[in-house]
Every structure is written in C-alpha cells, then in structure tokens.
Amino acid sequence: MSPAASNIDLSFLDIFSLIYQYETNHDVKLLSPILAALTKHKAIHPGVRKIDQLSPQIPTIDETSLRLIEAAEESMDSQWNESNSLNEEFVWDSIFKAIPILIIRMEFDQLNELLTKYSEMYQYTLQIDSPYSQNFFEYDFYHLLVNVLQLVFQGIDQPQTITALFDATTVQDSSSTLMTLLQQQQQQQQQQHLKQTTTHQNSRWQNLKAIEGCLKKAETYYAKNRVVLTQSFNVELHYYYLIKWFSLISLFKEFNVSQFVDQFERLYHQPSVITKSDLLVTNLIDDDSDQYDEDYSPFKLFSTCKEYEPIRNHIVMMYQVCLIVVRPFRELQILETDDVLLDLIEALPLNSKVYYDLMISLKQSDFNKFKCNINDLEFQSQMKLLLGNYLPDLKYWDFFRYILLLIDYKNFLLIMSVTRAIPKKLLIQKLGGYDVDDESVIPFLLQLMAILKLGEVGISYEVSKRKLLMNFNQIYKGNH
C-alpha cells in the first residue's frame, strides 16, 4: 500500500515573513498573528525565543513539537527494523506531521535526514498505472522545499565590532597591549571567517545540487507518466507544479535572472491540463463560477489556489525585478499585458509601484525618474519587508545599488551601440541620476569594457588632461 497524497497546507511558510517583519520594525501588532501561526503549526521559530511577550507560550508549544518529531523518528526506526512489513503510509503520515514543525524550527538538516532515510526505505517506481499509486511528487516537493529554505536562510555571522571586543578596563591598558590584543582578535576573526565562508559555500553547493536533482527527477517522472498523471487532476499533479514554482525562489536567491524569467514564462505559457471540475473534486478551489474559469493552466493555479499564497506576491515581485535586469528597455512590459498578472500586480501596492514607477519609467528611458524611485528609502524598506530573506546574496553589494549599476551597464551598451563618440560628461548625463561631475560610475564602465572585451569591436576609452572620450573606430577629438 502506498502513502495517500496529503492535503496541501503551506501556510506555515507565512511565519518567516512575520518574524522578519517583527525583527525589522518590532511592530507589536504582529505578535498576535505570530502566536496564532505558532500555535496552529505547533512549533517555535528561533526568532520567537527572543520575544519576551511570547515566552510564556514557548514551553507548551515546544513540548508538542518534540513529541511529534520523536513520533516521526520512532516510526522511521521501527519500520527500518521491520522492513519486511513496511507500512509506508504510517511512516509518511508521521513525517508529514513533522515537516512544518522542523521547517518552522529551522532544523533543516534533521528534516533532510528524515526525508533521505524515508526514500531509502521506500523505493519509488518510475512507471505507474495510477496517479494514486505513490506520492512521488509530494515527497519530491518537500525535499526541494527544505533545500530551497536552507539556501535562503544560509548566512555568515558578521565579525564583532571593535567596541564589542574590549571593555572599558581593557581599553585603558597600554597601547602596545591593546595592539597585541587587536592583532590576536583579528587573526581569530579571519580564521573564523574563512571557516564560516568555506562551510557556507559547501552547504550552498549541496543545496543547489539537491534542488537540481529534485527538478530532474520530477521532469523524468512526469515525462514517463504524463498520460496517467493528466487523465484527471490529482494532488500529485498539483505537487508537480508546486515544485516548478517554488524552484524559482532558488533562482532569484542566486540572482540567476535570465533563468528565472525563462522558467516563469514557460509556466505562464504552458497550456491547461486541468478543469474546474477536477479542482472542485480535490477541494482546491471553492465553487464560485464567477471567479474561476473552466480550464486551469499552471499560471492560473499559481494566481488562484491557496497553496501559493505564501509566495505569490514574492514571485511576482521577483519576476518584475528580473525583467528590469534582462529585458531591453523598450520591451519592458508584463507578458502580453495579461489581465490576470496585472491584477496580481495591482493587488499589492508595492508590486504596482515597481511596475508603474520602475518598469514603465525604464521603458520610457526616463532614467532620472527610475533612479529617484528606486533610491526612495521608504520604497526600499517596503521591498525588503516583502522579500526579506529571499533577497539575493550579493556579497559586498547593496541590492538596490547593484540593480542601479546593472541598469547603467545596459544603458551604456545601448548608448555605445548608437553613437560613434561621446564626451564623458554627456555620457554621465545620459546615464541619468548623476551630477555631471560625478565620475564614480566610470571605473565600473571600464571594468565592463574589459570583461566584455569591447576593444575588440572598436570601442575605446581615452583619458587626457581635458578629455575623456569613447568611440567605435576612431578617437573623438572634440572639446567638451
């Protein structure tokens, strides 16, 4: 007997956004929904342990959490020792109850171990004769999800500040003693930083490899069983689409913008294999004929079904940001001005602001307006609150500064494609957002020219006392 597909409830993912918002602005109004989420899912997020107002509730919830985690481990161990009478449904049910708990507690390694051990115990078949034969996509989705979250929440602890290293008495010591202590502490920090960086890189690589493996397995399994899986909609097929949509988070976290846009738009264009009646049977939508069409594409599922609520606004925001980076300015618009996607954008004021104040201003080549809008501190604060830990890790770069630089790169290449020569000050003016005497962007443009080997196609750069010129085939000799 194979495990039955479980009801899909991903609302436990909301806790991460709530905790991030509270840690950012300490709004006491968030305490009530945070407590409600923790009580519902019977788990304590590590960040909650720092919130004094919620400390009385922690022991009771912790006790329930540990009991359910132990039940999952015990069911696994008991079945492991009695492999001849393996009860997959019993084991998976125990694991399934522990999944949201371990995720909220951010015990990703322990969950990965449970899932890996389960897959070793229960060997999935590659060919099925019924979509209810096994829960392959359900398992694969949660395996992908834990690795996506592990990738998202990886981080390197920041080195301590100098003021945190020494108390008042230490600072009053002789300068030579202080310098010795500083040097020793610096060496310790460098060693610790190197160790943390290596660990972070290895873990990140393992997560990316696991995510790639989950996607490949899902594609192979779907290709072999497409006819069976698409005869009527089933929860397994829904998990397949969840795998595709949630994998976008890892692409954005790594800032693979081209792959993100390609994958998003493939899902957008994929035709429907699902009908409204199928969704009603599986209780994935309510019976509201005015709200729901008869046919459901993967994008319509994404825009409609409750399972996507924890990530829907995030994914739409990510898509717009990626479009801004990869799409030519004149082509900057959402897919075929699709009404459903536009409705999603306009449903969230911040997404609407990105579309109308950022994307459209770039499409109109109003770079001054674009930079003014993206540099707005209130806008940046709101975007950080929405995307939170999903923001890409850009090492030493601020996310918004990096976007601005990429836009400068695109604009620079566009300018050089339509002009033979341009004075430095005019170039800076056309890039927008700079004072004409601000040359801070020039070194980055030089870097870009070197990386792309633009000299090989005739683009050159010359500096003299009074002239800084760029051209294709000859150096511009005019004055500015």
Q: Please provide the DSSP assignment of 176-216 as one string.
A: HHHHHHHHHHHHHHHHHHHHHHHHHHHHHHHHHHHHHHHHH
Stretch 107-115: mean pLDDT: 94
pLDDT exceeds 80 at position 99? yes
pLDDT at position 178: 41
pLDDT at position 249: 97
Residues 163-217 have pLDDT tens digits of: 222 233 333 333 344 444 445 555 565 555 555 555 567 889 999 999 999 999 9
Instruction: Report the C-alpha gap between 56 and 227 in whole angstroms.
Output: 53
- pTM (2 d.p.): 0.82
Instruction: Report the C-alpha gap between 112 and 27 in whole angstroms.
Output: 33
pLDDT exceeds 60 at position 292? no
Outline where 105-152 has alpha helix (H).
108-121, 136-152
Asked if 147 and 207 touch (Cβ cutoff 8 Å), the reply is yes
Q: What is the mean pLDDT of the chain?
A: 81
Task: With H, G, I as helix, E, B as strand and everything else as coil, classify residue 150.
Answer: helix
Task: With H, G, I as helix, E, B as strand and everything else as coil, classify residue 373.
Answer: helix
* Both tokens assigned to 382: 């709101």
Residues of the chain with pLDDT > 70: what percent?
Answer: 77
- Least confident range from 34-38, 322-326, 346-350: namely 346-350
Residues 58-84 have pLDDT tens digits of: 999 989 999 989 888 888 777 666 555
- Least confident range from 49-63, 83-97, 432-446: namely 83-97
Residues 315-339 have pLDDT tens digits of: 999 999 999 999 999 888 765 556 7
Stretch 394-418: mean pLDDT: 89
pLDDT at position 335: 58
pLDDT at position 184: 57
* Both tokens assigned to 120: 């070793």
HSE (side-chain half, CA atoms, 13 Å) at 31: 12
pLDDT exceeds 80 at position 389? yes
Nearby residues of 277 by Cβ (< 8 Å), 6 or more positions away: none
